[in-house]
Amino acid sequence: MSWVTNVMLSVSPEDCRNAEAFGGWLDRECPRREPGMTPGGCGQLTLITGSDTQWGGRKYPECDVYAGALNHADLDAVVEHFGSIQWRTPNAVQLFVMDQEQSFFRVWMIREGKPQQYAPASPDEEDDQFWPAEDA
């Protein structure tokens, strides 16, 4: 059984080493969402904007974005660890998190020294008004 979370991390060029360390922490130490599960092994982040990648269009991305699909990660611990890193440019760092059974990314940024969510918390997938009305 798996529980997948899609994660993207956007950083300034000065924070690429911190992003790589964060990805390593996810793979080696990240707590799991279920009690009794051994920490680590949740997955890692990979740079998806290197010079050898191409998105749509005729240009290469001019940003540093890391992405990964985590399995059974404790998302509160992920956000907490994201907030504890000594980012060189904290105002530029963005963490995008979309847990299994969610339909949009939650965006976290460092403001006033701590992670704060900037995507609307509601309506979410549990709210009836989130989904289109069914034709009667």
The two three-digit tokens of residue 46, written as one number? 């990979």
**The pLDDT of residue 126:** 82
Topology, domain 4-120: Alpha-Beta Plaits (3.30.70)
pLDDT tens sequence across 104-136: 999 999 999 999 999 777 787 888 877 787 765
- Which stretches within 1-136 are classed as H helix? 16-28, 75-84
End-to-end CA distance of the chain: 37
Give the global pTM: 0.89
Residue 106: phi and psi, rounded to 5, are: -95, 135
